[in-house]
Structure 1
């Protein structure tokens, strides 16, 4: 495994039912005692899958530092589309409180599908594979919002000089 440093991003790509969520759950569990707030976002997932993740986190005491944002497969497309933005607001709140956050984003393709449904209803012209042309920009912009605040950077620099 390759370690993930603060401020970095990691994309886990595998076939279905191979264990991506196990890796993500283990990453959350390994944050215990590290003063990190974890935000797990499940978009368009089965309710049973989300419940299984929550149960695992509860059994291991990780819910004390974990926030779950879930819009399951039976949620309207608009809520599935908006859920990652709720995640951003939560993570940025803790960032401004000078806390580190770990964000697990489960289901970006489901958010893209929800955005496609909304765009088709709004009669926006489809682009590549019937997705709106800006959907790929939308995802990259959403994922690039992760940042390290300047005040934390200054604190780390001054403590390293001492």
Structure 2
């Protein structure tokens, strides 16, 4: 059974259920590669078990070994695989969200400035300031307020245009 467990583990077919000798599933043909195999049961591959040298044997195919595995070794999914897939999906979702946020910011910036170096955003500020002036003020005072606002906004545009990148 130790030999059978190693074979089933190598084939990823779950634990061994039965080990039969005497060519239980019919005799094979061709070269006999292993003879006198002695596994401890902890080996990962049949080639890791003690045996006679490869190709050297004192038997024939009527001694062929047969193994029945449970077949449950390949059905389970390992926890590291599940964690890896989950993290990959989360990373993809986060990248998509980041691209959407970046696109929205870029679209907003384009709407305010109407292109690189355009003062559309500055003119919008002037309109907002004009709307906030209380009605009933003297028209000369109004003109002075608007012109000083335009001057200050022109200065802002002058000092910030180089840093818009």
Name the TM-score class by shorter chain: under 0.3
Structure with the bigger RCO (C-alpha within 8 Å, sep 6+) is: 1
Q: Which of the pair is proportionally richer in strand?
A: 1
Higher radius of gyration, 1 or 2: 2
Normalising by structure 2, report the TM-score: 0.19
